[in-house]
């Protein structure tokens, strides 16, 4: 997957987890928690959806890599290189 495709996949997951959030003004460089009302369970839902939808494993020690859209895309890019859209 290309970075823009990964970003769109994350947007889709966020829409499912937080349907009331306005994601059109999401700042890719700012942490999700600063911009959205996400709690720790929502964050775990993001990790679980990545595993379910794309078979991407994110070890607990790497959770900090998923803080913002930019860091999430950067972290996932090598893991999703062979994922079909």
Q: Which residues contact 57 (CB under 8 A, 6 or more apart)?
A: 51
pLDDT tens, residue by residue, 43-81: 999 999 999 999 999 999 999 999 999 999 999 999 998
Average pLDDT, the chain: 93
Q: Select 3-76's CATH number: 2.60.40.10, 3.40.50.300, 1.10.1200.10, 3.40.50.1370.
A: 1.10.1200.10
Nearest 5°: phi and psi at 50?
A: -60, -40
DSSP states of the chain as a string? Answer: --HHHHHHHHHHHHHHH-TTS--TT--TTSBHHHHS---HHHHHHHHHHHHHHH-----GGGGGGGSBHHHHHHHHTTTTTT---
Q: What pLDDT sits at residue 84?
A: 72
Q: What pLDDT sits at residue 67?
A: 94
What's the pLDDT band for 85 if we cut at 50, 70, 90? low
């Amino acid at each position: 997957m290309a970075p823009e495709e990964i970003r769109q996949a994350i947007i889709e997951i966020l829409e499912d987890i937080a349907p009331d959030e306005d994601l059109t003004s999401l700042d890719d460089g700012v942490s999700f928690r600063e911009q959205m009302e996400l709690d720790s369970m929502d964050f775990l839902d993001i990790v679980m959806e990545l595993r379910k939808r794309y078979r991407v494993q994110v070890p607990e020690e790497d959770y900090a890599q998923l803080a913002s859209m930019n860091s999430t895309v950067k972290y996932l890019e090598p893991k999703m290189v062979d994922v079909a859209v």
